[in-house]
DNA sequence: CTGTTAGCGCATTCAA
DNA sequence: TTGAATGCGCTAACAG
C-alpha cells in the first residue's frame, strides 16, 4: 500500500482511494465525478464522493482515461517557430482556447526536427487527438499521405492543400487589397510589394490580392519575392525596390509584419524619410508597430479567431464531424499610424 | 477484430498486431523494440520483428506506456506569454532540447487561466513528468505548497524561491553590470535605469547588478520601476527619466528588450538624437535589434542554455536525482550596435 | 531465447 | 441506486 515506487513525493490519489474513503465502488465514483447520466447516486452518497475527491485532491489520470477512451484530450500545434508575431499570436490563441475546452496543447516547432516526422510521431504515438499544422514548408505530398492516413486528425492553418479537407484560412487576399486601396486613396500610383517565397500558400493569396487591387486602382506594381519573410528579407526586398532612383515606388506593401519592419529599416538606412518620401504598410499587426519611429501602419488579421476556429474544427472532427474548409469571417482592418501619408 | 470504433481511419497498430504478424508473443516484441537488455531474440526473430514493426508503422502508444511506467515522457512549460522575445527564445530552446531527449512539451500560458491552477492540473492529472515554470508572477506561497507536494517535479526558470530547491538562473546581475560598465567606459556619468516591477526576482537581480556597477563606476544612478516590462513600460519609464531637462541622464539602461525598444521610441518622440544626445542599451538580444533605427545595443543572455539546463535538471530529477540550483555558466556578452556612443 | 501472468487507472458493459 | 467484471496497450516479474 505505502510502497511509493519513487522518491518523488506522495502517490497521486486514484479512483480507488476516493472510493475507499467513501466506502463505495470505484465505478460509482467514476460516474459521479463525470456527471455520467447513469450516475444517479443518492444525494447523500453523491456529496460524500464529491467531498472526498475534493479533500484528497483527486484528478483523473489522463493516461489511464486516454487509454480507456482512445482519446487524449490533447491537441498538437506545429509551428515553424516563433520568429513572427503572427505565430506567437496564434500559439497564444490556440493554447487559450484549447484550455477553455479542457484540452492540453503540445507544441512542435521546426527546430525539433523534420516537421512531417513530428506530426506523424505525435499522431501515431497517440500523443494527441489532432494536429493543427501552421507550417507552410511541409511538402504537399507529405500532407497528402498524412491526410489519407488520418483525414480526421489534421487541420491546416492558413493553408490550403487539395488533398487535405480540413483547413481554416484568413482573408489574406482581402487584407492585401485593403492595404493597396488605402495607399491608392492616398494618391500613390507606384507601389512596391515585398513578398516571401511564392511556394507558400499565404504568399500566393496575398500576392493575388495585391495584384488585383493594384489593377483596379490602375497603379503600377513592382513586386519582389524573397526566400525568407523575416526582418532581413524585408530589408533586402525594400533595398532592391528602392535602388533604382528613376522608377522608385512612393509606397511599399510588406507581406508580413517583420518584413514591414525590415523595409522601414532599409528606407531609413537609405536616407529616405518615412512617410514623407515613402509610405510603408505591413500585413498583420503587433504591439511593436506603435513603438517604431515612425509608427508602422498595418492591416490587422483576425489571428485570434483563426486559432479558435482551428481548435473548434479539430474538436468537431474528433467528435465525428466531417472535415471542412473554414474561412474566418472576420474582416481584416486597417490600423493607420505614422508610416503612411498622402503622396506629395 | 475489425471493429473500428470511430470513423477516423484505420486503427493504430499495437504490439499485438506486430506479434501476430511475426508469430511471437507481445512481450518479446516489446523487449526487442525497446532494446531491452533481456531482449536477446535470435538474430532471425529480431529482424523479423523489426521488419514487421516497420512495415506496419508501429509506434508505441504513449498513454499505455505512460500508464504502465508512471511516466509520461512529457514536460510542461509555463510562460507568462509570448510578449517578450526572451520567452519565445526560451520556448524554442526547451522544445528543441526536450524533443532531442525524446520528450514532448505541453504549453501553458497565463492566458489559459490561473497559472498556479495550470501547474497543479498538469501535474496532478499526470499530464507531465515535471513542470518548468518561467513565470515570475506566481506567489511564493503557492510555489512553496507546490514544492512541498512535488519537490521533484517543479523547476523554476530564472527565479529563486527559498522553498523551491530546483532552479536554473542566469547571471542577470552580471549582465546589468556589463551594460553599465560599457556606458561608463564611454564616459557616461549620469545613467538612468528602467526596470520592471520589483516583485520579480529577475528585476531584483538586474537592479542589484546595476546599482553595484554604478557605485564602482562612481556614476549617478537614476532609476525608475514600472508595473510592466513591455514596450509601453519602457516608453513611459524613459519619458519620466528624460522629463527633467536639468538632470537628464546621458544614457539609459533598459532591463528588458521590449523596454529598450520603448525607451528608444520615447527618446525619439521627445526629439532626442540617439546616440548623440542619449545612449540606450537593453538587456537580452533579439534579431529585431539590428533593424531598429538606430540599431539597439544589447547585452545577450544565454537563454538557449537556460532552456537546455532546465530540461536536463527536470529529467535528472525524474530519474531520481536530487533537486539543485543551477547557475548557467555562460557569461552574458555585449553586442554593440548604434544606440550607444561616447558622451560628448 | 521466449512465453505467461499481472496490473498501471479508468470507464463501461452487465448484473443485482 | 450500486457493484462486479472486463479490457484499453504496454512492460516487468517470473517461468520455462
Q: DSSP per residue over A58-85, as a string?
A: ----HHHHHHHHT--SEEEEEES-SSSH
- The predicted pLDDT at position B2 comes to 31
Contact A262/B at CB under 8 A: yes
pLDDT score of A157 more than 60: yes
Are A129 and A71 in contact by the 8 Å Cβ rule? The answer is: yes
Among B47-61, B106-120, B182-196, B210-224, which stretch is predicted with the lowest mean pLDDT? B106-120
For residue B138 the three cell numbers come to: 506566481
Res A5 pLDDT > 50: no
The C-alpha angle with vertex B71 and arms to B65 and B76, in degrees rounded to 5, equals 120
The percentage of chain B sitting over the pLDDT mark of 70, rounded to a whole number, equals 97
Mean pLDDT of A50-55: 95
Chain centroid to Cα B121, Å, comes to 20
Q: Is A257 on the interface with B (CB under 8 A)?
A: no
Q: Are B75 and B314 in contact (CB under 8 A)?
A: yes
How much is the pLDDT for B65?
A: 97
H-type alpha helices, A186-340: 201-217, 231-243, 257-269, 303-318
pLDDT score, position A39 = 67
Alpha carbon distance B258, B71 (integer Å): 38
Strand C positions closer than 7 A to protein CB: 1-5, 7-13
Count other Cβ atoms within 10 Å, centred on residue A47.
12
pTM of the model: 0.94
Q: Is the pLDDT of residue B317 over 60?
A: yes
User: What is the average pLDDT across A174-196?
Assistant: 98
Q: What is the pLDDT of residue B9?
A: 55
- Interval B146-186: pLDDT, tens: 888 899 999 999 999 998 999 999 999 999 999 999 999 99
Q: Within 7 Å: CB of B27 and strand D?
A: yes
The answer to whether A162 and A172 are in contact (CB under 8 A) is: no
Q: Which nucleotide is nearest to A49 (CA to C1')?
A: D2
Whether the beta carbon of A45 falls within 7 A of nucleic chain D: the reply is yes
Give the separation between CA A295 and CA A340, rounded to whole angstroms.
9
Q: Rounded distance, CA A68 to CA A75, Å?
A: 18
Q: How many CB pairs under 8 A join A and B?
A: 191
Query: Which residue in A107, A121, A261 is closest to B291 by CB distance?
Result: A261
How does pLDDT run across B122-135, given as a tens digit for each residue?
999 999 999 999 99
A175 burial via Cβ count (<10 Å: 0-12, 13-18, 19+): buried
Q: Is the pLDDT of residue A1 over 50?
A: no
Residue A279 grid cell: 509610405
User: B67 beta carbon < 7 A from strand D?
Assistant: yes
Q: Which nucleotide is nearest to A34 (CA to C1')?
A: C11
Question: Phi-psi region for residue B163, left (φ > 0), alpha (ψ -120 to 50) or beta?
Answer: alpha
pLDDT of res. B6: 39
A217-252 pLDDT, tens digit each: 999 999 999 999 999 999 999 999 999 888 899 999
pLDDT tens, residue by residue, B29-42? 999 999 988 877 88
B122 vs A106: CB contact, 8 Å cut-off?
A: no
Q: Say yes or no for a CB contact (<8 Å) between B111 and A105.
A: no
**Could you give the percent of chain B with pLDDT greater than 90?**
86
For A162-216, give the DSSP string.
Answer: TTB--EEE--HHHHHHHHHHHHHHTT--EEEEEE--TTSHHHHHHHHHHHHHHHH
Kindly tell me if the per-residue pLDDT of A3 is higher than 50.
Answer: no
CB of A68 lies under 7 Å from some atom of strand D: yes
Distance to chain A for B12, nearest Cα, Å: 7
Q: pLDDT for B243-259, tens place per residue?
A: 988 889 999 999 999 99
Closest in A59, A74, A112 to B124, CB measured = A59
Residues 151-170 of chain B with CB under 8 A from chain A are: 151-153
Q: Bigger pLDDT: A316 or A42?
A: A316
Q: Cell 544612478 maps to which residue?
A: B221
CA distance B108 to B111: 8
- DSSP code, position B199: T
What mean pLDDT comes out for the span B12-20? 94
Q: A113 vs A39, which has greater pLDDT?
A: A113
The predicted pLDDT at position B37 comes to 83
Closest to A221 measured CA to CA, from A212, A231, A234? A212
Out of A56-70, A122-136, B134-148, B164-178, which region has the weakest mean confidence (pLDDT)? B134-148
Q: What is the mean pLDDT of chain A?
A: 93
Q: For residue A205, what are the contacts with CB-CB under 8 A and spacing of at least 6?
A: A169, A172, A173, A176
Tell me the shortest Cα–Cα distance from B42 to chain A, in angstroms. Answer: 27
- pLDDT at res. B215: 97
Amino acid at each position: 500500500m505505502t510502497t511509493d515506487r519513487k522518491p518523488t513525493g506522495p502517490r497521486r490519489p486514484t479512483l480507488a482511494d476516493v472510493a475507499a474513503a467513501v466506502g463505495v465502488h470505484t465505478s460509482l465514483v467514476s460516474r459521479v465525478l463525470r456527471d455520467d447520466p447513469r450516475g444517479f447516486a443518492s444525494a447523500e452518497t453523491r456529496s460524500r464522493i464529491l467531498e472526498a475527491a475534493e479533500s484528497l485532491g483527486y484528478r483523473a489520470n489522463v493516461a489511464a482515461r486516454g487509454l480507456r477512451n482512445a482519446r487524449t484530450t490533447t491537441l498538437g500545434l506545429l509551428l515553424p517557430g516563433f520568429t513572427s508575431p503572427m505565430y506567437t499570436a496564434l500559439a497564444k490563441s490556440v493554447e487559450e482556447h484549447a484550455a477553455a475546452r479542457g484540452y492540453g496543447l503540445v507544441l512542435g516547432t521546426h527546430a525539433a526536427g523534420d516537421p512531417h516526422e513530428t506530426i506523424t510521431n505525435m499522431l501515431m504515438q497517440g500523443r494527441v487527438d489532432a494536429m493543427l499544422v501552421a507550417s507552410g514548408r511541409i511538402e504537399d505530398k507529405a500532407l497528402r499521405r498524412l491526410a489519407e492516413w488520418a483525414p480526421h486528425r489534421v487541420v491546416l492553418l492558413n493553408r490550403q492543400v487539395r488533398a487535405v479537407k480540413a483547413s481554416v484560412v484568413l482573408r489574406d487576399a482581402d487584407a492585401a487589397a485593403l492595404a493597396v486601396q488605402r495607399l491608392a486613396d492616398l494618391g500613390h500610383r507606384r507601389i512596391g510589394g515585398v513578398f516571401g517565397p511564392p511556394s507558400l500558400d499565404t504568399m500566393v493569396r496575398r500576392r493575388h490580392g495585391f495584384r488585383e487591387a493594384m489593377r483596379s486602382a490602375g497603379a503600377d506594381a513592382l513586386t519582389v519575392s524573397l526566400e525568407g519573410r523575416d526582418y532581413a528579407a524585408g530589408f533586402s526586398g525594400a533595398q532592391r525596390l528602392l535602388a533604382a532612383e528613376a522608377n522608385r515606388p512612393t509606397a511599399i506593401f510588406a507581406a508580413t509584419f517583420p518584413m514591414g519592419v525590415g523595409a522601414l529599416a532599409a528606407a531609413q538606412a537609405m536616407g529616405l524619410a518615412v512617410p514623407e518620401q515613402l509610405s510603408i504598410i505591413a500585413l498583420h499587426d503587433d504591439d511593436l508597430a506603435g513603438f517604431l519611429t515612425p509608427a508602422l501602419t498595418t492591416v490587422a488579421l483576425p489571428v485570434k479567431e483563426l486559432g479558435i476556429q482551428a481548435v473548434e474544427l479539430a474538436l468537431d472532427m474528433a467528435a465525428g464531424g466531417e472535415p471542412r474548409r473554414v474561412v474566418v469571417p472576420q474582416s481584416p482592418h486597417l490600423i493607420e499610424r505614422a508610416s503612411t501619408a498622402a503622396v506629395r
